[in-house]
Amino acid sequence: MRPTTPGKQLNLVLSGIAVLLTGIAIWPWVAPVEASGRAADAADAASSAPAIADLPPLATFRTVFERPLFSPSRRPPDGKPAVPGIGVAERYRLLGLMTAGQARRALLAEGPRRFEIAEGAALDGWIVIRIEQDRVVLSSPSGETELRLQRTSGNPAGPAAPAKPVLEKPGR
């Protein structure tokens, strides 16, 4: 055997260290993951998280609405006290009404979200007291308001005319 020179020994040691560090670096990707340990950790974290208490009703914060923070006079505009939820007619749009026997439901939209609501249900501090043929009547301690069904025809009082089918000729 041939004796090695100090330069070659240094190269061998450095190569060994490089291989060792490469193995340590890729170990997290090739080592088996213990799923039960992670599930137990997640369960422990979920059980130790504090429970979120239910928020009080919006009417509890009436004084905040009566004395707006960003108004210089700390009074609502026009001298009228602001009522929480007054914009329910502007916030929600009545899309349709459904009746099945005695059960009545209304289909509402809030931006892109669509949902249905029944008589007696709550909606932002308002209670649905009646679902009629063309409107939903809501009530709150501050009064009543209604969401009206928007007609697409030119006659807002009468029933909407059924759409006539469009017949196309072949080849057009």
- DSSP per-residue codes, 94-137: EEEEEEETTEEEEEEEETTEEEEEETT-EETTEEEEEE-SSEEE
Q: Give residue-wise pLDDT tens across range 20-68.
A: 999 999 988 888 766 555 655 665 655 665 666 776 776 777 777 677 7
Domain coordinates in residue numbering, the chain: 57-86, 88-151
- CB-based contacts of 32, cutoff 8 Å, min separation 6: none
Q: How far apart are the C-alpha atoms of 88 and 90, rounded to whole Å?
A: 5
CATH (residue range 88-151)? 2.30.30.830
Asked whether 126 and 115 are in contact (CB, 8 A), the reply is no
- Whether the full predicted model's pTM is greater than 0.95, yes or no, is no
- What average pLDDT does this structure show over 90-100? 87
d(CA 19, CA 13): 10
